[in-house]
Amino acid sequence: MRDAYHEELEALADRLVEMTRLVGSAISRASTALLDADLSLAESVIAADDAVDALRDDLDARALDLLARQQPVAGDLRVIVTSLRMTADLERMGDLARHVARVARRRYPESAVPAALRSTLVEMSQVAERLVAKAGSVIASQDVTAALELERDDDEMDRLHRHLYTALLHPASPYGVEAAIDITSVGRYYERFADHAVSVAGRVVYLVTGQRAEELVEPPA
Amino acid sequence: MRDAYHEELEALADRLVEMTRLVGSAISRASTALLDADLSLAESVIAADDAVDALRDDLDARALDLLARQQPVAGDLRVIVTSLRMTADLERMGDLARHVARVARRRYPESAVPAALRSTLVEMSQVAERLVAKAGSVIASQDVTAALELERDDDEMDRLHRHLYTALLHPASPYGVEAAIDITSVGRYYERFADHAVSVAGRVVYLVTGQRAEELVEPPA
């Protein structure tokens, strides 16, 4: 039987998973707002980021309270410190979803996404949603193998990100300065979103194995 | 007389200040590399970021060790948790300086900065250097008034950042897609660098007062 203290520790993980769901919903809706130039959806994503921040505040307060009251050691200490770090990643992912929504709002009623780059942005949004969903599963399952797989999705995100620049810089590129600004910004937001999801998964790896994710995977050739 | 434990706690602050110095040097040299299209300087900034990461690793290991061995409470606990958060900010600031240097390297032997935007970028680099120097002073002094002043420099950074977009998007803008990509990226790096410096100062405010910086300043009109 678990005591109240261990129940509180386990509740941290549940709330972290809940935070990944909020952030996943945010990036999904922000992407739709961007791709469909949907102003009201963009506004709703921007407004909803407060809930992510509130959940972060609540989680951090619980973690600090556990540190102060329970003076945890070893594994329990690592769970709490990891929670503090994951909330920072997830809060930032919420910000990045909001940034995507803001680009949609800024260009409304026009679309910030040129037609020829739409499919790349659709793929980036899908990879972002997949990454945050996997990060949530990994927090719940503590499955190290699954955690290490996020690197592969991140490689895919990097490839899509590079493709945006290649397309913008192509000699026959029809894009102007405004599109270059928007696409550079949005591309960066998705890429950073993915980095933070990988970071969350890496923290699970560290929590379970005591080793960094980098030490457990082959360096890229 | 301080015991070994309290000496270790104080050493955290010394090393955080040292970290701000490394990061300050990085952004200063990255800015020169960018403005002067200096490839070898850019390379040296990129290589030097490992030292920032190593200092972060060392500091975090010390903080976690103190948490595990000393089971600190109240003020001491806050010092340690704040250290863990500041290293994350400072490590990211190091990354952003490296990103600025990478843009310089990517465009070499050309300059990534169009002549007409040079003065704005010079100002942004000066504000960035000032912010990280002030963040270091504030960590050392724990001066809440000084900490709250960083917001003003950050407002200046935001103004300069907006100016870049205004210049890029001006109807008579002579800039092409490549300049738009570079300036959008670099502008974002400086702006994020400034945000993290403000965050470091805000953590000092929280450490000393238990209140968030936002609660101690008038909301903008």
Q: What is the pLDDT of residues B17-64, one digit of tens each?
A: 999 999 999 999 999 999 999 999 999 999 999 999 999 999 999 999
Q: Would you state the structure tokens that stand for residue B44, as one six-digit string?
A: 């040296």
- pTM here is 0.95
* pLDDT score at B213: 81
Which among B68, B77, B180 is the nearest to A180, CB-wise? B180
CB pairs under 8 A between A and B: 60
A201-216: per-residue pLDDT in tens? 999 999 999 888 877 7
Which among A68, A85, A173 is the nearest to B77, CB-wise? A68
The beta strands (E) that lie in chain B are given as none
Do B180 and A184 make contact, defined as CB atoms within 8 angstroms?
A: yes
* pLDDT score at A214: 78
CA distance B44 to chain A (A): 23
Element (H, E) at B125: helix B118-141
Q: Is A169 on the interface with B (CB under 8 A)?
A: yes
pLDDT tops 50 at residue A221: no
CA distance B71 to chain A (A): 5
Q: Give the residue from B78, B80, B88 showing the smallest Cα distance to B8.
A: B80
Which among B71, B81, B184 is the nearest to A184, CB-wise? B184
Q: Is A126 on the interface with B (CB under 8 A)?
A: no
A130-188: per-residue pLDDT in tens? 999 999 999 999 999 999 999 999 999 999 999 999 999 998 888 999 999 999 999 99
* pLDDT score at B2: 66
Interface ipTM: 0.93
Which among B73, B169, B177 is the nearest to A175, CB-wise? B177
Average pLDDT of chain A is 94
Contacts of B19 (CB under 8 A, 6+ apart): B52, B55, B56, B59, B86, B87, B90
CB-based contact A23:A132 (threshold 8 Å): yes
Do B180 and A185 make contact, defined as CB atoms within 8 angstroms?
A: no
> CA B57 to CA B66: how far, in whole Å?
14
Place A71 in a pLDDT band, splitting at 50, 70 and 90.
Answer: confident
